[in-house]
Structure 1
Amino acid sequence: MPADYLWLIPLLPFAGFLINGTLGRRLPRALVSAVALIPTFLSACLWLWLWFSMKAPGAPESVHSVITLFGNNWIQISGFHADFAFTVDHLTLIMLGVITGVGFLIHVYSVGYMAHEEGYWRFFAYLNLFMFFMLVLVLSANFLLLFVGWEGVGLASYLLIGFYFRKDSAAHAGKKAFIVNRIGDFGFLLAMFLLVAHFGSLDFSTVFSTIQQHPEWQGGFLTAIALLLVVGATGKSAQIPLYVWLPDAMEGPTPVSALIHAATMVTAGVYMVARCHTLFDRSPYALGVVAIIGAATALFAGCIGLVQHDIKRVLAYSTVSQLGYMFLACGVGAYTAGIFHLLTHAFFKALLFLAAGSVIHALSGEQDMRLMGGLRKRIPVTFWTMTMGILAIAGAPGWAGFFSKDEILFRAFVSPNPIGKLLWLVGVTTAGMTSFYMFRLWFKTFFGEQRFEEHPAPHAHEEHAHGVHESPLVMTIPLMILAVLSVVGGWVGVASAMGGHDEIKGFLDPIFSNGAPAAETASRGLELGLMAISVLAAAMGFSIAYILYYKKPGTATTYAQRFPALYRIVLNKFYIDEIYQAVFVTPLLMFSRLILGTLVDGGLVNGSGFAAGASTRGLGALVRRIQSGNIRSYAGWLALGAAAVIAIMIFSHTLLLHSTN
């Protein structure tokens, strides 16, 4: 059975990490590439084998296999035990496909993108480590092992974001990502404590089956656990209020951005909420919080993305916004729609980041869109593939993002949530904004007059000696594959209202029920009408971008000058980082320096050390007098010692006689 070899899927990338991490410095680059790529490719092949075995004729509709490694009771403390166990079901299968498939393409692309970078072996070692921990996360059969993978991807992201450690901004971005995620992880940890207290176990099957056996359990401690899990999810999936680390993560190499944003890490929070749907379904309040956080994040991040100039930051805020869509879906109980959008987003967001990397590669590291333009004919493969990604994320009919986005909006509109219609309105508004800022990026990068220097920058590599050029095949082939997936990847979820069979719904039905009864009974006309509205919103976004950045270039600058205060606020990301710095970071640093640094470190630690040293010096000075080198002094000390010994003996003898009598 393929499921018996499930443990090999994460083990293979880990083997690549070990080899490159220990021997990579001494290996040629071609061998480093092979060590990194072959295990990842084999993991993808194992996933395909598993996929076809679960989809084969006669295979059961509901598949749930658990593989326990290292024997039972991996951890056993006072009656509590947890196994090192992997599980696979239809939800896991989709996540494995995203991680291994898209992750392998990013590995291939990295061979070309990182070809001339220092620390080549170190980069691929970290990349494999990231894959290993993410695979452990989605394969885990209990919360504890999931937490191991959860923390592991946080560590790997710190290493990858700070890969250019000599650059202060990259080092700070890595630390910021690590610290902000630890805040969310604290909530996750508290949730696990509550799970142990109420269920005595962290095993998924035990916890969820116990909840199903008690239909009377509603809210209460389940809400507390769910809300704490949401805290963890907001950190890992970059939602309000813990989204601030993700835009700064752009300081890492572009393939890292693609891996974090598309195939790993930021999808972990969405996956965790979907995996725990049995728990969340018993807490309407927690689901409402998830939906509101998702909608607010989608709109807020979309606003910031409207005016950013760095091509990667536009895509970063786009990711935060699209993750908000996924949270919105889960919050209205449409878990299948959320996972569907996670799947299509992996295709087009990986494509967009890698295409942006190809643009940056062609321009010798330039990321400011104000210094681009006119690239359409200079890098045609990058242009056409990125166009496919932009159409997909904008929700163009027929492209992947259209089907998954519209499914989320439809489910929000017909959900029993009291504010479902408002959530839908926020989603439609965000769709229009997404279309605008993505086509803004398209026009500013590829159209108009050339705004960049033709000659290479001083630090450019030799291959840039002839100016702007298309990326090598090792980079463009992954772009082409992802471009195709960005078009056809959504066809697995064509709604019945459009004549489709919605295969992804049928595939995930064994895991969770898809949507509320209201969604199942909604009319075909309503669903098609809502689709038409979202398409209209996307068309409006395209039209405004076309006028401002192509038909009448310079108009956007005029509007920015007309409303300078508003423009400055949005450009500076609503000063959220500055507010966090003033409200949380600065007081915490002052507290640590005053209380911990001055009182504890300076007073207690240094004071106790000084006291110990002073007492030792004083005792030494006293004892030193005994060894003066003077014979008469020695005789005196000898007589004094003898007298003391005689006195002690007499005193002891007296006490002994007294006790005897």
Structure 2
Amino acid sequence: MLPYAPWLCWLVPLIGSVLTPLFALVHRKLRDYAPVAFVGASVVFSLSMIPDVFTGKAVDWVSGEALGNIPLDRQIPWVSSLGVNLEVLVDPFNVLMAVVVSSIGLLVTLFSVGYMRRDPSLTRFWCLIQLFIAGYLMIVIADNLLFMFIGWEIVGVCCTFLAAFWHKDPYKAHIGLKTFLVLRVGDVLLLASILIMYFYSGTFNLTALGNNIDWAGLSGSGLLFITVFMFFGGAIGKAAQFPLQEWLPDALATSPSSFNAVTECLAGPFLMARVLPIFHEASGYGGMVSFFLVMALVGALTAVISALIAATQINIFKVLAYSVSSMIGYMMAALGLAGLMADLSWGYLAGTFLLTLDAFVSALLFLTAAYISYAVGSDNLHHMGGFKSRIAHRSMEVGALALGGIPPLGGFWCTNWVQTVALDFAGEAGTKGQFLLMILGYVIFALLIIGAGITAFFCLRMMGLVFKRGGHKSEGKTVKKIPSVMRISLVATLAITMFLDFLALLLIPSFNRLLLHLPFLRTLTFSNIVDVLIYIVPSISTVLTCVAVAVGGYPAYQLYIARRLDPVKLIEEHRFLTKAHDFLWKRCYIDALYHKVADGTITFSRRAYRYVEISVIDRANYAVASFLKRLSQIMYKYPELKGIDALNYFIANLVASFSRYFRRIHTGVLSYNMLMAFIGAALLIVLLFLFGGYIP
């Protein structure tokens, strides 16, 4: 690796963010292109660590010095009084995610040079986007929960500021506030969980927590389930999982569209994948089975709910936001199932491979959506119809068909893999006589199959609405000319995604080999493509996935691509469809529930202020103040004036009177003074005789 690569991969974009205002003072083009150079340098540092994780030994490329074996923990003193160090970890999964984040960040930064070029607040945008990438890289490379949480907060704050980037629009400013509040709910839970784990273990170091699970002894106090559930609560806040998913569609619809491709949501499943082996080691303690089961069920429910809502939205960024939420649901389900199984490798590999692949697929779709919305001047799917662009067509086809699980693209293999893991868990639970877990395993499997069918529906619907036949109409706006830098970025993203998407089946064994140096994956699960096919293809999941995709995709094709039926007329003619559409259009009333809770909290606060604060506390304060004022007046009049002051004057007068009389003996006549000295000496001699030469 390059010298200090684990540190510089996140420090370089952080420095770029700080220097951007200075570059803006020098020249506009320097300000606009410097971020590309800084993020590009981060990609170079991240890529330089890849050979080390394949060989299992870290080597400094400049000095040739052997730095140690992989995983490699590097640290510098941070809070010495608490024994807390600033730590980074070079292991296969961390390095892979660093490459993914920095690479997508570079593509987004390059795309934004063209997309944001006329924005008057571009300096602020470049500061935020580089800071966002730096914070994200801090999360994926950290080996310290406290350091990771700092990166976590940086990402959340940047997401809030970007959601409210055009804050002069009151609606967008409101969405920024909504994003901030929802994310803070998860962040408070995560911080509380981290502090409890530190209190019981005495360390923030993730490697140390994995090697010594004494902290899991807090199960004796009943805190283990609560602690890990709060940790998961922090993850689902960022990952936009049920019931905290509603901030994401609004945030991505109001923030600069080019930013959406490097969305923070994937930080949630990464965090859970990072701690999954640690929590799995504690699975023998009470409450952990319930925790992993909740994790898998939340993921499966989110996969279905988000896909259903996406099928009715008309803002392309809201559709894609719900698609991200749905895919992350598959990842969470896979990781939860991995924790429930004796061998976590099957579910862990399925969830992390889907995480890696979906990062590029989602990036491609978001950049394509930004490309089209920039050209047509609208985010509305109905205003994009008739848009003609070969690059946009190919990009949307590759991304949407992969997301929709169309075989033999990567999405099909990944979702099928997760569903097969669910079946394996149900079978494993059945052989152990755990029939409730077996039933729940089949429920999770059924939810994931249903989610696959709905995903195929809304992906084909999106394609049909964007590229429907006929002339383009977008509220009377003409199609803009696309800057060349946006084309270059989109083509590069398309090329990378096509490589991963079409060769996903071949890449699974290589992915397995890459992660072999992780301590909990010491055996090769898939040595070649034959092993992958033997595991996935014979499963009933393959048949049911194909059926679900066909059942979901066929009506979407008929309605939105072939246009043999009018979807609006069909909904109007069937009362059930009308009610179902309204329910999903209103986002299952989850967002309305948010507003009800917020309004209720504000109303309660107002009433509490009026009746408790003003009527009780303020009145009590005024009553106490009035009583103390009256008491002080009485105390001043009697004890102060007639007692303490009178005593002071009496003592002063007494001393003054004594001084006047005593002063009379000081006449200044020498004979009188000599007489007084003689009398004093005589008195002293008499006393000496009386006491035997000793005066006590």
TM-score interval for Structure 1 and Structure 2 normalised by the shorter chain = 0.7 to 0.9
* CA distance, structure 1, for counterparts of residue 622 and residue 363 of structure 2: 55
* CA distance, structure 2, for counterparts of residue 67 and residue 156 of structure 1: 27
Q: Which residue of 2 aligns with 1:633?
A: none
Q: Which residue of 2 aligns with 1:136?
A: 138
Give the one of 577, 582, 589 matched to 1:568: 582
* CA distance, structure 1, for counterparts of residue 124 and residue 536 of structure 2: 55
Is the 8 Å Cα contact of residues 239 and 265 (structure 2) preserved in structure 1?
yes
Moved more, 170-179 or 518-527: 518-527
Give the one of 367, 387, 400 matched to 1:354: 367
* CA distance, structure 2, for counterparts of residue 567 and residue 277 of structure 1: 38
Is the 8 Å Cα contact of residues 2 and 53 (structure 1) preserved in structure 2?
no
Q: Which residue of 1 aligns with 2:393?
A: 383
Q: Deviations over 1:266-320 (max 9, x none)?
A: 1112111111113332122211111000000000011101111111111111111
Unpaired runs of at least 5, structure 1: 457-466, 624-640, 655-661
- Sequence identity percentage: 25
Name which one, 1 or 2, has greater alpha-carbon Rg.
2
* CA distance, structure 2, for counterparts of residue 501 and residue 63 of structure 1: 21
Equivalent positions of 1:206-605 (< 5 A) are 206-211=208-213, 221-250=223-252, 251-260=254-263, 265-281=264-280, 282=283, 283-333=288-338, 334-364=347-377, 366-375=378-387, 378-415=388-425, 416=428, 418=438, 419-450=440-471, 452-453=473-474, 455-456=476-477, 467-469=478-480, 471-490=482-501, 494=505, 502-511=509-518, 513=520, 524=535, 527=538, 529-552=540-563, 555-561=566-572, 562-563=574-575, 564-582=578-596, 584-596=597-609, 599-600=612-613
| Match status 1:88 vs 2:90 | yes
Measure how far apart 1:41 and its partner are: 0.1
* CA distance, structure 2, for counterparts of residue 36 and residue 609 of structure 1: 58
Query: What letter matches 1:65 in structure 2?
Result: L
Question: Closer, same or farther in 2 for the Cα pair 1:34/1:295, shift >3 Å?
Answer: same
Residue 83 of structure 1 aligns to a residue in which SS?
A: strand
Q: Deviations over 1:448-493 (max 9, x none)?
A: 333614853xxxxxxxxxx325522211222222222222214675
Moved more, 379-388 or 236-245: 379-388
Moved more, 250-259 or 120-129: 250-259
Moved more, 531-540 or 42-51: 531-540
Equivalent positions of 1:117-136 (< 5 A) are 117-136=119-138
Question: Closer, same or farther in 2 for the Cα pair 1:59/1:147, shift >3 Å?
Answer: closer
* CA distance, structure 1, for counterparts of residue 626 and residue 13 of structure 2: 53
* CA distance, structure 1, for counterparts of residue 466 and residue 271 of structure 2: 37
* CA distance, structure 1, for counterparts of residue 53 and residue 523 of structure 2: 27
* CA distance, structure 1, for counterparts of residue 536 and residue 333 of structure 2: 23
Is the 8 Å Cα contact of residues 392 and 486 (structure 1) preserved in structure 2?
no
Measure how far apart 1:525 and its partner are: 7.5
Measure how far apart 1:224 and its partner are: 3.1
Is the 8 Å Cα contact of residues 137 and 147 (structure 1) preserved in structure 2?
yes
Question: Closer, same or farther in 2 for the Cα pair 1:115/1:369, shift >3 Å?
Answer: same
Measure how far apart 1:202 and its partner are: 1.4
Measure how far apart 1:197 and its partner are: 2.5
* CA distance, structure 2, for counterparts of residue 522 and residue 387 of structure 1: 25
Question: Closer, same or farther in 2 for the Cα pair 1:201/1:471, shift >3 Å?
Answer: same
Q: Deviations over 1:172-203 (max 9, x none)?
A: 11111111111111211221122123211111
Is the 8 Å Cα contact of residues 295 and 336 (structure 2) preserved in structure 1?
yes
* CA distance, structure 2, for counterparts of residue 91 and residue 611 of structure 1: 63
Moved more, 351-360 or 441-450: 441-450
* TM-score, length of structure 1 as denominator length: 0.83
Moved more, 5-14 or 641-650: 641-650
Is the 8 Å Cα contact of residues 201 and 209 (structure 2) preserved in structure 1?
yes
Is the 8 Å Cα contact of residues 200 and 218 (structure 2) preserved in structure 1?
no
Is the 8 Å Cα contact of residues 62 and 510 (structure 1) preserved in structure 2?
no
Question: Closer, same or farther in 2 for the Cα pair 1:452/1:215, shift >3 Å?
Answer: same
* TM-score, length of structure 2 as denominator length: 0.79
Measure how far apart 1:101 and its partner are: 0.4
Question: Closer, same or farther in 2 for the Cα pair 1:152/1:527, shift >3 Å?
Answer: farther
Query: What letter matches 2:490 in structure 1?
Result: L
| Match status 1:175 vs 2:211 | no
* CA distance, structure 2, for counterparts of residue 169 and residue 284 of structure 1: 43
Q: Deviations over 1:386-437 (max 9, x none)?
A: 1111111112224332332222122122123522222122112111111110
Moved more, 446-455 or 88-97: 446-455
Residue 37 of structure 2 aligns to a residue in which SS?
A: helix
* CA distance, structure 1, for counterparts of residue 379 and residue 94 of structure 2: 36
Is the 8 Å Cα contact of residues 3 and 65 (structure 1) preserved in structure 2?
no
* CA distance, structure 2, for counterparts of residue 186 and residue 615 of structure 1: 42
Is the 8 Å Cα contact of residues 219 and 284 (structure 1) preserved in structure 2?
no
Q: Which residue of 1 aligns with 2:10?
A: 10
* CA distance, structure 1, for counterparts of residue 395 and residue 241 of structure 2: 29
Question: Closer, same or farther in 2 for the Cα pair 1:400/1:219, shift >3 Å?
Answer: farther
Residue 465 of structure 2 aligns to a residue in which SS?
A: helix
Residue 81 of structure 2 aligns to a residue in which SS?
A: strand
CA-atom RMSD in angstroms: 3.6
Is the 8 Å Cα contact of residues 392 and 487 (structure 1) preserved in structure 2?
no
Q: Deviations over 1:140-190 (max 9, x none)?
A: 111111111111111111111111111122211111111111111121122
Question: Closer, same or farther in 2 for the Cα pair 1:556/1:521, shift >3 Å?
Answer: closer
Query: What letter matches 1:304 in structure 2?
Result: I
Moved more, 511-520 or 9-18: 511-520
Residue 212 of structure 2 aligns to a residue in which SS?
A: helix
- After TM superposition, what 4+ stretches of structure 1 lie above 4 angstroms from structure 2? 56-62, 212-221, 490-493, 512-526, 596-616, 641-645, 650-654
Q: Which residue of 2 aligns with 1:44?
A: 43
Query: What letter matches 1:8 in structure 2?
Result: L
Question: Closer, same or farther in 2 for the Cα pair 1:206/1:648, shift >3 Å?
Answer: same
Q: Which residue of 1 aligns with 2:665?
A: none
Is the 8 Å Cα contact of residues 404 and 549 (structure 2) preserved in structure 1?
yes
* CA distance, structure 1, for counterparts of residue 107 and residue 121 of structure 2: 21
Unpaired runs of at least 5, structure 2: 60-67, 339-346, 430-437, 637-643, 658-696
Question: Closer, same or farther in 2 for the Cα pair 1:285/1:517, shift >3 Å?
Answer: farther
Q: Deviations over 1:557-603 (max 9, x none)?
A: 12321232222111111111212222x21222123333357754898
Query: What letter matches 1:421 in structure 2?
Result: Y
* CA distance, structure 2, for counterparts of residue 393 and residue 123 of structure 1: 29
Query: What letter matches 1:368 in structure 2?
Result: N
Question: Closer, same or farther in 2 for the Cα pair 1:642/1:279, shift >3 Å?
Answer: closer
Is the 8 Å Cα contact of residues 280 and 286 (structure 1) preserved in structure 2?
no
